Amino acid sequence: MSDTAERSDQVATRRLVSAGALMAGGTMISRVLGFVRVALLAFVLGNGTSQADVYAVATMVPTGLYILFAGGALNTVLVPQLVRAAKKDPDGGEAYTNRIMTAFLLIVAAVTALVTVAAPLVARIYSDDSWRAPDMVEQYQALLLLTYLCLPEIFFYGAFYLLGQVLNARDRFGPMMWAPIANNVVQIAVLGVYLGIWGTQDRLAFSSPQLWLLGGGHLLGIVLQAGVMVWALRRIGYRYRPRFDLRGTGLGHTFHLAKWTLGFVLVNQIVLAVITRLATSATSGGMGAGATAYNNAYLIFVLPHSLITVSLATAMLPSASRLAADGDLGGVARETRRTVKLTTTVLLPAAAAFIALGHPISRLLFGHGSGAEDADFVAWTLIAFAIGLVPFTVQYICLRAFYALEDTRATFVQQCLIAGLNVALALLLVVPLHRDEWVAPALALSYSLAYLIGVAVTYQRLMKRLPELTPMPVLRHLARVGLAVLPGAVAAWYITDRLDGSLLKQVLGLAVAGVVAVGLFLGLAKLLRITEVTSMVSMVLRRRRTPEAEGERPADVGADTPENEAVQSAEQTTVRAAETARATVHAQVSDAADPAQAEEPPDPLLDNLADQADLAEEDVEDTAEEVHPIRARAGQQLGRRYRLEEVLIRRASTQTWRAIDEVLSRPVLIHLLPPNGDNDDLMGIARKAAVATDSRFLRVLDAAFPTDEDHLQSADPEHPDDPGGAVELGPYIVCEYAAGQSLQVLLASGPLSALEAAWLVREVADALSGMHVQGLFHQRISPDTVIITATGNVKIVGFLLEAELQPSHHKIAADEEPETVDVMDLGRLLYCTLVSRWPGGHAYGMASAPIDAEGHILTPRQVRAGVSPALDRICDQILSDSPRHKEVPLRTASEVVQELSRVLGTADAAHDLERRLRYPVPVVHVDEDEPPIAQSPSSAFAELDTAAMLRADTGAATGPLTDPDAPTGAYLPITPQTPDDNEPTVARAVPQPPVAAPRRQENRRWLGWLIGLVLLVLIGSLIAVALRQAPSGPGATGTPSAPPPTPTQWQVVRAADFDPQGDDRTENPADVPKAYDNNPDTAWRTVNYRQADMGDKDGLGIVFDLGEVRPIARAELVLAGAPTGVELRIPADRPEQVSTAPTDNANQWRQVARAPGSPTQATLAPTQPVRSRFVLVYLTELPPDGSNFRGGIAEAKFFG
């Protein structure tokens, strides 16, 4: 691979990493809150109880649809379609988006109403038949009511994802990841209220107040989550207006694609129903690894996928869609492979961590309160899921590549294959060997195996569409990452195995294991040269670097950071952007669908950039190497340190080169001066400029004269030994090399937002003010000398030097003070960032700022609607000799800083500018030669003008703001709006569809009635169902419920000692009857042990036979000595069918209650009723007895 291609891949890699950073941040916070919510739910209800599964199943249907929408259902098809509409439609895809929203919201509303009405059928489909047995009637009624309460969430989930896709298509990825935070906050509050009122679960079915609190709170959280997306859309200026003119608008193609994703939803719903039915079978007879254990393990399993894969794939999809639309299949393949390698770099270590640390993670998160007894269910399920983490994430990315290619049929076929494998393997692993504690792990294993097989088939099919997507680079990458992660995983397992026990030990063990494992992985990754790890680490380190830190280390800025490899220098960027602009004009004309449209003149803004490129080329031709006074060549070395790489600018007597500092291994910028010129003044200025050490200046690093060795280097590389080929070189000036983009190129896409403009100019003014105190001035501040770095920070080019090397674009009076020149330049800079116009004439690729009848430059608010009044005032205070409203003129840089700081406060726009660089906004192509025309006073209230101003987004880049119908040379007449306001009303002259006001109002009212009607129907059906269920539901009546019947004490028929690890497998068998003789003064005792944990033994005890299967509500024990660790166990496999007590080992018994460190009297109650004939009282820790340890059971009684 060439160096250029490799650098391009590195740039794209960093772009993908950064694009996912904001989303990953929101997802991380949301997931942390999600873990808090689920951990609290496990604390209250447990992991393997019937009550926990009631809650899990009722919330699973809408949540399942939500995951399916996110994972590739209807709205995944929308991203490529919305991107294409935004690219091709004259209105930027707004009308198309409104039609999409209208169509799909109607579909989601209809589906929601239909499913809610059919709630009893839904509950029956998603629960095992054993839940409808007579002894489960109360639990099933609770499941039904909670399902009714949760099903309306489907509409709000659908709205959330549809709105999110509109934002994603506009490269606004953050809100979709941050909105779930509101939902999680509500859920945590609801569970907190539940815990405060009712405490941990009491083994009884939910009462009606409990159901209404849980169900209503869950619904409220989803509503707020969707509301956040509405707010985010308003922030970017999007206003949804229903459109019902669906014929002939291209929606047929979208729905044709969507038919396959509808099939995708159907197939996955069938799989979800089968898996849920199998899972609920584990908890219908008591405790087991059912739906809750499955969901909790899946929550941990999907965390790295959500943080990394979803974020990077979401950022990949619009890019891949654009490449596919342009026919660049090789680009789609590279984008897909790059995303796969980036995600698996993190996902493979995560899978290893889940396998090594599954048990300590599960116990830490879910092993408290009611979940203390069944956290291992989650652990084994997580380990089984981890096997399929990498196949799952690769499959997810491959499906996104198919979506970018608009091949939704292939995704449907592939998902059908995986779904069929999942169901078949689940039935094969669960049904023949049904054991309650292994149901969820078996289901997770079937899930992993299905994706392991399915991703191989999917990748092969994708290779047929993308021949460059060969598997070997990915397999080699996985092998290297696997080698890097294996030692860390083994070390982590060993550490946590040794640091197990108390909560503090668990936390300490996981922390130490994490540090050791990550350290080993990073070290081995560096050794194995896994570049994806280096890219991610560099990204994290750069994001942690603060502006203050940069200021403390000015020498590091722009010189040796990784960004320098990714972005062109300021000078290079300007020329190459102009060449790109000219190419863009040609491409847009040739790609126009309408022949008439293809003949339209190109955008003047792009013409200006193209003209600059032509001018640069003419300059190079006029000063070709054979006549230029400087005859340097690439590869030539200066001062035994700087190696010339590429000429960036060739002027009449000077040249600017990009070079490499071979001592510090960093790129630098070198200005070569003529060998026979008078360079003493310029060299002196360069040395004086070196005092500008503020990190916002690109510093002068050196100013030197060439050595004799430099002169002897031949200008002809073909004859290096030819002394006649030696040339004389002049002095040179070495400067820092900035990684970034010039403001001139950035403004080619339109003006900045108010925040960005004010912050950028304040940064420049603040840097200049420090130099002005020392009597030093720039005098060439312009869009060409201001650079925005890859991290959104500001760099100023050519302090002192630029004034000597470049002529000014505007006339400077001989007697004009240098500080005044800088301050006026700051005003011009602020003006152009607000409106993309240059005050004083055509310059820097921008048209001239319009003037009024008296020749005065119009203020920014008179040119562009929506400009901040405060910034408009500051512009006027800087540029006008007599500011309006008798404002005080600003004549120093420090005064400009002070005024802008009052506007900004503590706001920082670096992140906004970073995103603008990474996701540039296309230029809006309208005529720019004529200035805008002010509207008449009456037009200020016209529907079209109002809509145009509502659509004006001050936070987004816009195109030129001129009216194409305005006559040449027209100016803006002053048309007062009010007696006190002399500013004209200006509407953006962007073509808008003529829509009458009454119809728009009618649509809004209709939308409100639609949503209100849907909610009314849903709420009415819920109330009706609640009233119908009230008489038979638990706790539904207003009168106090009858007290539970007095528990019955069960007679112990016989008992036997249990010591499977003993030498003779017995433990004082003759004394066993003393444990149930109703005499607490007699007891069965163990032999003496030297340790409380009995050394190599896991425990021992007594098996009690109740004669027949009995419900066990609690066991009351009198123990011989304290503290004693004791557990209550029943047979693990089908306890109601066991006729002979198992005696081979303790694993044949399932723990249903425990009391570590119990006093002499203990009551052990299962978290929910269990039924068994045999009960094992199992001692795990013995109390001290003199110098030894010895325990015993004096009395055991069982109640049910």
CA separation for the pair 920, 923 (Å, rounded): 9
Q: Which of 515, 541, 567 lies at the terminal end of a domain, its last residue?
A: 541
Average the pLDDT over 439-460 and give the result. 94
Question: How far apart, in whole angstroms, are the C-alpha atoms of residue 352 and residue 490?
Answer: 9
Pick 941 or 843 by higher pLDDT: 843
One-letter amino acid identity for 752?
A: L
Are the C-beta atoms of 1175 and 1112 separated by less than 8 Å?
A: yes
512 located within any domain: yes
Residue 749 C-alpha from the chain's centroid: 26
Q: Which residue in 898, 917, 961, 915 sits closest to 761, CA to CA?
A: 898
pLDDT value for 431: 85
Please identify which residue in the block is written with the tokens 């668990």.
Answer: 506
pLDDT at 852: 83
User: 433 falls in which pLDDT band (50, 70, 90)?
Assistant: confident
Q: What is the CATH number of the domain that holds 1134?
A: 2.60.120.260
Residues 932 and 914 occupy one common structural domain: yes
The pLDDT-based confidence of 349 (bands split at 50, 70, 90) is: very high
Distances (CA, A) of 562 to 5, 16, 63, 790: 16, 15, 42, 10
CB 1071 within 8 A of CB 1184: no
- Is the pTM higher than 0.85? The answer reads no
3-state DSSP helix/strand/coil percent for the chain, to nearest 5? 55, 10, 30
Residue 1040: inside a domain:
no
Q: What is the pLDDT of residue 640?
A: 79
Residues 486 and 389 in one domain: no
Six-digit token pair at 335? 């984008």
Most confident region among 318-332, 686-700, 871-885, 996-1010 by mean pLDDT = 871-885
Task: Based on the fold, state whether residues 679 and 795 are members of the same structural domain.
Answer: no
306 DSSP assignment: I
Last residue of a domain, one of 517, 541, 565: 541
* Domain-terminating residue out of 487, 514, 541: 541
Beta bridge partners of 1116: 1163, 1197
Q: What is the CATH number of the domain that holds 675?
A: 3.30.200.20
Relative orientation angle of helices 329-366 and 291-304, to the nearest 10 degrees? 130
Q: Per the structure block, which two tokens stand in for 63?
A: 């949540």
Residue 1016 included in any domain:
no
In whole angstroms, give the CA distance from residue 219 to residue 227.
13
Bridge pairing between strands 847-848 and 837-838: parallel
Q: Name which of 675-679, 722-726, 841-845, 1100-1104 the model is least confident about.
A: 722-726
Residue pLDDT, tens place only, 602-627 = 333 333 333 333 333 334 434 444 45
- Helix, coil or strand: residue 1117: strand
Contact 675, 629 (CB under 8 A): yes
Residue 613 lies in a domain: no
Q: What is the mean pLDDT of residues 670-676?
A: 86
Pair 725, 855 in one domain: no
Report how far residue 1018's alpha carbon sits from residue 116's, in angstroms, rounded to the nearest whole number.
Answer: 7
Quick one: average pLDDT of 270-291? Answer: 85
Residue 1124 phi, psi (nearest 5): -125, 130
Looking at the structure of the chain, the number of domains it has is 5
Residue 375 and residue 503 in one domain: no
Same-domain pairing of 1088 and 1178: yes
Which distant-in-sequence residues (6+ apart) come within 8 Å of 646 by Cβ? 572, 634, 657, 658
Q: Is residue 1064 part of a domain?
A: yes
Percent of the chain with pLDDT over 70: 71
Let me know whether 481 and 419 are in one domain.
no
Least confident of 84-98, 226-240, 349-363, 880-894: 84-98
Question: Is residue 262 located within the same domain as residue 360?
Answer: yes
Q: Which range scores top for mean pLDDT: 24-33, 764-773, 944-953?
A: 764-773
CA atoms within 13 A on the CB side of 69: 22
Residue range of the domain that includes 32: 3-470
User: Phi/psi at 760 (nearest 5 deg)?
Assistant: -60, -50
Q: Which two tokens stand for residue 304?
A: 């790295």
CA dihedral 321, 323, 326, 327 (to 10 degrees): -100
Nearest residue to 701 via CA among 713, 689, 718: 689
Say whether both 755 and 726 belong to one domain.
no
The burial of 946, by beta-carbon neighbours within 10 Å (0-12 exposed, 13-18 middle, 19 or more buried), is given as middle
Q: What is the mean pLDDT of residues 399-423?
A: 85
Q: Are 867 and 954 in contact (CB under 8 A)?
A: yes
- On whether both 689 and 791 belong to a single domain, the answer is no
pLDDT at position 674, please?
Answer: 85
User: For residue 1039, is it within any domain?
Assistant: no
Q: What is the mean pLDDT of residues 26-39?
A: 78
pLDDT in the model for residue 1076: 92
> What local confidence, expressed as pLDDT, does residue 940 receive?
28
pLDDT of 579 reads: 36
Q: Indicate the burial class of 1155 (C-beta count within 10 angstroms; 0-12, 13-18, 19 or more).
A: buried
| Average pLDDT of span 213-237 | 88
Query: Is the pLDDT assigned to residue 258 strictly greater than 70?
Result: no
Ramachandran region, residue 501 (left: φ > 0; alpha: ψ -120 to 50; beta: rest):
left
Residue 486: what pLDDT?
93
Which are the contacts of 662, defined by CB distance < 8 A and separation ≥ 6? 637, 641, 642, 643
Q: What is the mean pLDDT of the chain?
A: 75
Among all chains, which residue has been given the structure tokens 């509050």? Answer: 189
Provide the CATH number for the domain around residue 929. 1.10.510.10
**Selected residue with higher pLDDT from 240 and 961:** 240
pLDDT tens-digit series, residues 47-68: 888 888 899 898 887 877 655 5
Residue % of the chain over a pLDDT of 90:
23
Residues 684 and 713 in one domain: yes
> Which comes out higher in pLDDT, residue 399 or 83?
399
User: 34-38, 588-592, 793-797: which range is least confident on average?
Assistant: 588-592
Position 35 in a domain:
yes
Q: Does residue 1014 form part of some domain?
A: no
In terms of domains, do 95 and 239 share one? yes
pLDDT tens by residue, 1013-1026: 545 544 554 454 44
Task: Spell out the residues 6+ positions from residue 333 whose beta carbon is closer than 8 angstroms to its own.
Answer: 466, 467, 468, 469
Residue 972: its pLDDT value, please? 31
Tell me what pLDDT residue 770 has. Answer: 85
